[in-house]
Homo-oligomer: A and B are copies of this chain.
């Protein structure tokens, strides 16, 4: 179905949806303009909504992280339940998506205590509650409830989020950066994705508007640009220098797009990188800020992995901190920073909490962003609370501090070990090279495939990396996402693999990977 779909998309993109075949009443496939004509002709047995009569922007959008390979994995999982032992593995390992708790990571106790107490405040003053919850969680829940008008945690909030929670987040940003932050700049959202959509909706007027995106990129960006009808302007990260972001390459692509009449409105920068795992150096970030200022680009800074750093020689710097340290303020650069509760050490993906910090926009533009936010009323309050906890966790002296730090460091140090173990394993495979994961949650190894494998993929009418990923899944139950879902230099092949399986499973995963890879290379050896 998907391949069929994709071909139809190509036809649509090629404009065949503007053809005017006259509709047969029974036809399920009359073209959209024919449908329009039919509808416009007056009462008729109009066709229902068909593949060919839905919004072509929707057809154009792709999101590989939950694409065909995952659908196949879900089928295999059902098969394992109904026919145990029918496959050479007994479980599916979802390494396709940064979803830590789905692979056994435990939530941070303090965060969940506070969320539970805010969900059911009537137990706050019961004596038994003190036996079940830490004192500082109880105190924090009271503090948070007092920030909510009427303590009504079940009410719609201000469309940017509860003011007191935005104050806490702004204070957390200021403490992180050493520069002031303003609650009025914070828009709380159901995870980072809706925030990215909101900015694309604001910036994109037509296919003549372009957004610079790294290649490889997290496909939320390509999907959102497609849904809003804009043009993705790619800039390639340099794999040879550890996925380096080179401003000379960005400039070249910007000029090329402008020469084609594209109004390039913004640049998306993902730091730490997804799927590429690099952490930008401060000097590199300064160049990017300077470039955005000079070229009048909005800087869309995806900083959702800011807590996920695994190497001693790198640290996270927000683009706002960098810009302010260069002396650039509100009037100098338009900057949006995206943050999420789904990532970091907490990995609370299911809570759908996040925010964007919007700086350097005029009051009348800000009013329009607020208006778009207000149409959906507000983001979920538990996610809002969690976002404030992430930016304002327990402090030294709080009852939960020691256990909180132990949980946090335990997770982050384990992730660092898993990243290194998997990186080494990939690099030990014939024809595989893999850059270090300095941060984020992914490795993006490159596959140097034998010609026979590439021909076999062509014969199967799939990309070579999709062919490899499918074979890997069928042989081991390990789900990875083909590089083609993120974009890559034409003729190179990669896949994205998370570092999230629990640590005790890593050795078994590595041996399964190695065994599969050796037999794959054996099968397709030139």
Contact = CB atoms under 8 A, between A and B. Distances in A.
Interface string A1-44: 11011000000000000000000000010001001100111111
A115 interface: yes
Nearest to A51: B364
Given A39-B296, A46-B296, A298-B49, A367 B2 contact: yes
A244 interface: no
Interface string A221-247: 001100110000000000000000000
B42 A376 contact: no
A61 B368 CA distance: 9
Interface string A247-284: 00000000100111111110000000000000000000
A205 B59 CA distance: 11
Nearest to A347: B154
Interface centre among A2, A35, A66, A123 (most CB of B within 10 A): A66
Contacts of A82: none
Contacts of A376: 190-191, 193-194, 197
A217 interface: no
Contact of A54 (B261, B262, B295, B365): B365
A170 to B, nearest CB: 18
Interface in A294-331: 294-298
A263 B40 contact: yes
A400 interface: no
A348 interface: yes
Given A46-B297, A112-B120, A380-B383, 11 more contacts: A4-B364, A48-B298, A48-B361, A49-B203, A49-B298, A54-B205, A58-B201, A58-B368, A97-B156, A154-B349, A154-B351
25 contacts: A1-B363, A36-B261, A41-B258, A42-B259, A45-B294, A45-B296, A47-B296, A48-B334, A48-B361, A57-B201, A66-B159, A101-B154, A102-B150, A104-B150, A112-B119, A115-B119, A116-B117, A119-B119, A154-B348, A156-B342, A156-B350, A201-B227, A349-B377, A350-B381, A352-B379
